[in-house]
Chains A and B, each alone.
Chain A
């Protein structure tokens, strides 16, 4: 199969669609024209830059650079997890818990998948390592952000119920068990839904990309299934870790509920 090279004028052609939409938004005063154009510009710049970085990384292919890239991705994802929570744990805990949960789950599973399942040579070959880690981080990030947001928000809203349970002599683990379970579920559900609906409603992005790039569909499907499994595991373990660590932080050594460790939303 031959790859059709995309030219810049072809991209420009596609951008006309976005500009048309922005024009419509302005015409009917929907008010999203401005943010649409900004988002389109951002996507162009960010993806071009990452393209340059990946080109450079692929041509060097040294473990040090791949690892540096991986760490940078984890930290950026950790920041994103923190930003997406309405009420956060104070003092760097929101960032710390999110980032370490992702590091432990997504990072570890990505490395293990490379070493044991895919086995490229060398194992850190960026062509495999970076997309794999990126896909895993993107999904794990969603799960962890959702579950931590759910945890802190529900604890805040039900703080009096939780204290009522503590007053009756319940252990903090019992007083928060329902909330903890709900938080973990809410982080996991998008991934489960994604797996359940894959192929029926939509073709997963990575698979689509691989097919467009000329790979045989059967191979693309195998990679997609592999990724779904690793994503589910990464999200699940990451969510469980983050919620467990987060709920520890919500109580102190005398099992007091410490809502003072949660920020108040700024908006």
Chain B
């Protein structure tokens, strides 16, 4: 894979047009107060909201693919996950035991009824579900917000490893400064209508 995610004059909601490049295996963190438009920006990249400007994955602009194929490649994992089938497995691709173990699940989690999941389990399984479909770029919206500290570290390490190993470009929205320091290669902060590059590790 090893593709670059490129935002070219992307404008949505209150934000000014954004130019941004996420290299393969690179993690670009987005921070900003809630309501500043982080989620809307990620939604625009996934082409879920109308927007101006262009998003490309290497040479492939979003509009040259069918929208569902684009979203399959550039996958958004929202802050709150939703589940519509009865069991976990019906939502996921082929079961990958190594991923499940890394996230602290038994392999039989595919048979678990969705109604039994706690919010933390839902969040972890939503990440697992997205990666089980083999995306080529990741858009993560507060991926560890509902997790306790130990689980958060575990999930974080797994995510970073997967992103690096597979060379996925990742846009990672979070408001946690220490998480930004741990995972990000580049950090942008939303300040009013503008996206500003923050010096590494500070917020």
Residues of chain B with a CB closer than 8 A to A168's CB:
71-72, 75, 91, 129-130, 133
Contact between chains at A166 and B68 (CB < 8 Å):
yes
How far apart are the CA atoms of A168 and B132 in the complex, in Å?
A: 10
Known: A161-B82, A161-B84, A256-B49. A167 touches B68 (CB 8 A): no
Contact between chains at A256 and B82 (CB < 8 Å):
no
Known: A169-B75, A169-B133, A256-B50. A164 touches B82 (CB 8 A): yes
How far apart are the CA atoms of A158 and B49 in the complex, in Å?
A: 17
Residues of B within 8 A of A (CB-CB), count: 26
Residues of chain B with a CB closer than 8 A to A167's CB:
46, 48, 71, 75-78
Question: Could you say which interface size class chain A belongs to?
Answer: 10 to 19
Distance of A117 from chain B, by nearest CB (Å): 44
Residues of chain B with a CB closer than 8 A to A254's CB:
47, 50, 63, 67
Distance of B11 from chain A, by nearest CB (Å): 16
B69 within 8 A of A: yes
Contact between chains at A255 and B50 (CB < 8 Å):
no
B81 within 8 A of A: yes
Of chain B, the residue at the smallest CB distance from A163 is B48
How far apart are the CA atoms of A158 and B85 in the complex, in Å?
A: 13
Question: Which of B61-119 touch A at CB < 8 Å?
Answer: 63, 66-69, 71-73, 75-78, 80-84, 91
Residues of chain B with a CB closer than 8 A to A252's CB:
50
Residues of chain A with a CB closer than 8 A to B47's CB:
254, 256
Of chain B, the residue at the smallest CB distance from A254 is B67
Residues of chain A with a CB closer than 8 A to B67's CB:
166, 254-256
Residues of chain A with a CB closer than 8 A to B48's CB:
163, 166-167, 256-257
A160 within 8 A of B: yes
Residue-by-residue, is A178-193 near B (CB-CB < 8 Å gives 1, otherwise 0)?
Answer: 1000000000000000
Most interface-central of A167, A170, A171, A172 (chain B CB within 10 A): A167
Contact between chains at B84 and A169 (CB < 8 Å):
no
Residues of chain A with a CB closer than 8 A to B63's CB:
254
How far apart are the CA atoms of A172 and B67 in the complex, in Å?
A: 9
Q: Kindly identify which residue among B68, B83, B129 contacts A170, using a CB–CB cutoff of 8 Å.
A: B68
Known: A160-B82, A164-B82. A169 touches B49 (CB 8 A): no
Q: Kindly identify which residue among B69, B78, B91 contacts A169, using a CB–CB cutoff of 8 Å.
A: B69
Identify the B interface with A (CB < 8 A). 46-50, 63, 66-69, 71-73, 75-78, 80-84, 91, 129-130, 133
Q: Could you list some 13 contacts between A and B, CB below 8 A?
A: A158-B84, A161-B83, A165-B84, A168-B71, A168-B72, A169-B72, A169-B75, A169-B133, A171-B66, A171-B68, A254-B67, A255-B67, A255-B68
